[in-house]
Amino acid sequence: MTTNDGGANSDRERIAVIPGDGIGQEVVPAAREVLEAVGPEFEFVAGEAGDAVRDKTGEALPDETRELAAGADATLFGAAGETAADVVLPLRNAVGSFANVRPARAYPGVDAPHPETDIVFVRENTQGVYSGHETDVAPGVTTLTRVITESASREISRYAFEYAAERGETVSHVTVAHKANVMRKTDGLFLETAEAVGAEYDVPYDDALMDALAMHLVQRPEDYDVVLCPNLAGDVLSDLAAGLVGGLGLLPSANVGREGGLFEPVHGSAPDIAGEGVANPAATMLSAALLLEHLGYDEAGQRVRSAVEGTLADGPHTPDLGGSATTRDVTDAVVARLE
């Protein structure tokens, strides 16, 4: 079900707003308020997806929601629950994204176990074990095919090295995460391709076995800048990094590539707190800042980021950050900084 609540105006950029499940229903409206407060005249178009829609209609991602995202200039998404494979993966595909960019930064004012953390995970977004090739072979026997192609590995590697090269003043090197000593063919190809692409850039790079990397990230996060990852490794390692900076409530993400873009918090639907009005909206608001920058509204994006950072520094804080504020309190505080 979609509702066009912005009115038809072809001059305005069209933003698909898909809250999804659980706390997505709370943090996405909060981030939308922030987009409205910051100025650009967007046309917001709402779409439904997720567990609740599946329960109601039998389909977790109605065609009209997929088409809405595919045709929008950008999409703001919340969270997927049990139906993640039916919702968020096809939506990322619908917007033509091949890169999932997940910045993990510690923010002043937040009690971060590792305040020196400032890492950007560049995750391959279309392949690996998330390519959807799972089979019931026989009762009690299942298989999963892990797909890695040279072309997709080259595309994501080029994205990561371009990203690092453009930020030469703050990014010193790229680390390629893999497990090529075990998954010799698939991660062997990923690593070999990433190294070949890296050799074309004036950006230092190294590689790391992803299991050892998990330990080193916890011990010395300051040693890492941009971490280029196959799909599952990027999902897991970025969540690990959330633990270094104070939690999943702080990590935004951008799914970008050839066409539009889909912007979402790294966190999921958090059913344990859904409906209580205490979800931290920071990750989704920071995702909205990435959305603004993706559309070329750099100044507005920076204003949103500064307002969120200011609120993280001075409070109020939601319970995940040790406070007792509600999503509403934090949203009001961020919006007040934008006015």
User: What burial letters (b/e) apply to 284-304, b meaning 16+ CB within 10 Å?
Assistant: bbbbbbbbbbbbebeebbebb
Residue 80 interacting with ligand GGG (CB under 6 A): yes
How far apart are CB 128 and ligand GGG at their closest, in Å?
10
Q: Which is nearer to ligand GGG, 235 or 293 (CB)?
A: 235
Q: Considering the rule CB under 6 A, would residue 248 count as an interface residue with ligand GGG?
A: no
Query: Could you say whether residue 51 binds ligand GGG (CB under 6 A)?
Result: no
For residue 326, which phi and psi values (nearest 5 degrees)?
-95, 170
The answer to whether 128 and 332 are in contact (CB under 8 A) is no
Contact indicator for 104, 115 with CB cutoff of 8 Å: no
Half-sphere exposure of 237 (CA within 13 A, CB side): 35
Nearer to ligand GGG, 207 or 264 (CB): 264
Q: What is the DSSP letter of 47?
A: E
Q: What single DSSP character describes residue 248?
A: G
Examine residue 273 and tell whether it contacts ligand GGG (CB under 6 A).
no
| Contacts of 167 by beta carbon, 8 Å cutoff, 6+ apart | none
- DSSP letters along 73-137, please? SEEEEEE--TTHHHHHHHHHHHTTEEEEEEEEE--TTS--S-TT-EEEEEEE-S-BTTS--EEEE
SS3 (DSSP) at 210: helix
Residue 129 within binding range of ligand GGG, rule CB under 6 A: no
CB of residue 168 to ligand GGG, shortest distance in Å: 29
Residue 291 in contact with ligand GGG, rule: CB under 6 A: no
Smallest distance from ligand GGG to CB 135, Å:
20
Q: Which of 26, 33, 264, 320 binds ligand GGG (CB under 6 A)?
A: 264
> Can you spell out the DSSP letters for 262-295?
EEEESS---TTTTTSS----HHHHHHHHHHHHHT
What are 58's two structure tokens? 């039998």
Query: Which 215-244 positions form the footprint of ligand GGG (CB under 6 A)?
Result: 235
19 or 310, CB closer to ligand GGG? 19
Asked if 254 touches ligand GGG (CB under 6 A), the answer is: no
Number of residues that bind ligand GGG (CB under 6 A): 10
Nearest approach, Cβ of 306 to ligand GGG (angstroms)? 23
**Rounded least distance, CB 123 to ligand GGG, Å:** 8
Is 84 a binding residue for ligand GGG by CB under 6 A? The answer is yes
Virtual torsion, Cα 334, 105, 32, 46, nearest 10 deg = -160
Annotated active-site positions, please?
Answer: 130, 179, 211, 235, 239
Nearest to 202 by CA among 222, 228, 174, 182: 174
Q: How far is the CB of 199 from ligand GGG (least distance, A)?
A: 30
CB of 80 or CB of 254, closer to ligand GGG: 80
Region binding ligand GGG by CB under 6 A among candidate stretches 34-42, 102-110, 265-273, 303-311: 265-273
Residue 265 in the binding site for ligand GGG (CB under 6 A): yes
Interface ranges with ligand GGG (CB under 6 A)? 79-80, 84, 88, 235, 264-268
